[in-house]
Structure 1
Amino acid sequence: MAYYFANILVIIAYIALIVFFVKDIKLKPLLKEFKIHIIVLLVFNAYIIYVLNQMIMQDEDISVYSLDFLIEVTYNVLILLVLSLSLIHYLYHETKPGLFLFLASVCIVFSEMVQVAYLFISSQQLLQVIYSSLMAVGFYFLYEYIKIKNNPPLGSPQALRR
């Protein structure tokens, strides 16, 4: 039961992050300026989802269309959406905080992919070390993002309001 509860909480957190990325992006200018980027990301994501699902289906304990399989697929789709949307968010805004948010997303998403390899392919200790390292670096970038957002440069409108 703890497995399902924890995964559902993580899924909700990723959905909240996706909403954060898309809430201040206007669709028309985005499609006009980044049409090719979006197409490439869609193709890339489809391929990654296919590969991840192949890895998951190699696990004898998980049957297709079971609750475990659906949770894993949803989880994988959401982490790839977070990665893609963080890139689009950075390209759309091109700010230093956006870069930190994108780098954090890259590290966290790749740590999740390494964890999938650890759980479903090989339980090598090196994969666990890589997972933990990427997650720590990702949280460092999140810390830098939060620090920049909470301490705007002197002379900026946000700093003058303080």
Structure 2
Amino acid sequence: MVFSLGFIGLQLLQYEYCAMGVRALMLILLSFLYVVRVKNKRNFFFLFLLAYTLSDVINFITWEYSTEDGGFDYYYLGNGLYILSYLFLVAKLLQSIKIREVAVKLPFHVLILFILDCFCVVIVTNTTKSELGVYPYVLEFIYNAVIMLLLTLALLNYIHKDDKKSMNFLIGSICIVFYEVIQLAYFYISETNILNVISSVFLVLAFVFLYLQSRLVYSERMQIANS
């Protein structure tokens, strides 16, 4: 019985490793597709794809080494690149919206979203407090803060612009948040395989909507209003 359970566990690890390889390959193909198919490329979005893909490739290559004791901890490198990739999306949003103008028009929305962000970041990060040391906890806190900042800016961008491009960006950001939260639950709360599957679905949806928005431009009405 013990041998059977160990064999099943080994199979699950092998499936997870193969899934990581497939995901890394899909991201490489998506980045290539973006370069080839999208005419009006956005530098920050391309950098997002590049950083995220690089992190996935590194995680796939170093998967066996990152679980061993000693040596360089690839946990920091991989998560650092993920944070950087999300920061590129944040920079892309900041490039397209005027924060001061939005804050003046929507002060109540901004205040409520800021309070909710702080609350969510603390609550979500504290679920890992018993499992992580000081430095990983700080990294996880920064990670979650960047994700919530991305979601908040995407929501404000949609409220301000109210067009198809901003809607796709918002849906993509929501899918990223669901993906990250469910993946966190899979890693630190319950290693139920269905959680890993669901989080992967949300990640695919996130990249689909982000890719769709990358092929659009903001509506002419909003461009005139912001000019």
| Band the TM-score falls in, shorter-chain normalisation | 0.7 to 0.9
**Match status 1:99 vs 2:167:** yes
Q: Deviations over 1:18-59 (max 9, x none)?
A: 111112322332112111111111111111112112201131
Match of 1:19 in 2: 91
Q: Deviations over 1:50-103 (max 9, x none)?
A: 2112201131xx12xx22111111101000111111111111222211110110
CA distance in 1 between partners of 2:179 and 2:215 (Å):
23
**Match status 1:77 vs 2:149:** no
Percent of aligned pairs with the same amino acid: 27
Match of 1:56 in 2: 128
- Relative to the length of structure 2, the TM-score reads 0.61
- Relative to the length of structure 1, the TM-score reads 0.84
Matched pairs, number: 148
Q: 1:121 aligns with which of 189, 211, 215?
A: 189
Higher RCO, 1 or 2 (CA under 8 Å, sep at least 6)? 1
* Superposition RMSD in Å: 1.9
Match of 1:89 in 2: 157
Deviates more, 1:40-49 or 1:21-30: 21-30
CA distance in 1 between partners of 2:194 and 2:96 (Å):
39
CA distance in 1 between partners of 2:155 and 2:103 (Å):
14
Q: Deviations over 1:93-151 (max 9, x none)?
A: 222111101100100111101111111111111211110111111111112112334xx
Match of 2:200 in 1: 132
Q: 1:148 corresponds to which letter in structure 2?
A: L
In the alignment, structure 2 segments of 5+ residues that lack a partner are 1-72, 220-227
CA distance in 2 between partners of 1:81 and 1:28 (Å):
16
Greater radius of gyration (CA): 2
Q: 2:97 corresponds to which letter in structure 1?
A: I
CA distance in 2 between partners of 1:71 and 1:132 (Å):
22
User: Judging changes above 3 Å, is the alpha-carbon distance between structure 1 residues 44 and 121 closer, same or farther for their aligned structure 2 residues?
Assistant: same
Are the aligned partners of 2:172 and 2:206 in contact in 1 as well (CA < 8 Å)?
yes
Are the aligned partners of 2:182 and 2:195 in contact in 1 as well (CA < 8 Å)?
yes
Partner SS, residue 13 of structure 1:
helix
Match of 2:77 in 1: 5
Are the aligned partners of 1:104 and 1:142 in contact in 2 as well (CA < 8 Å)?
yes
Q: 1:112 aligns with which of 147, 170, 180?
A: 180
Deviates more, 1:33-42 or 1:72-81: 33-42
In the alignment, structure 1 segments of 5+ residues that lack a partner are 154-162
CA distance in 1 between partners of 2:173 and 2:99 (Å):
22
CA distance in 2 between partners of 1:22 and 1:52 (Å):
25
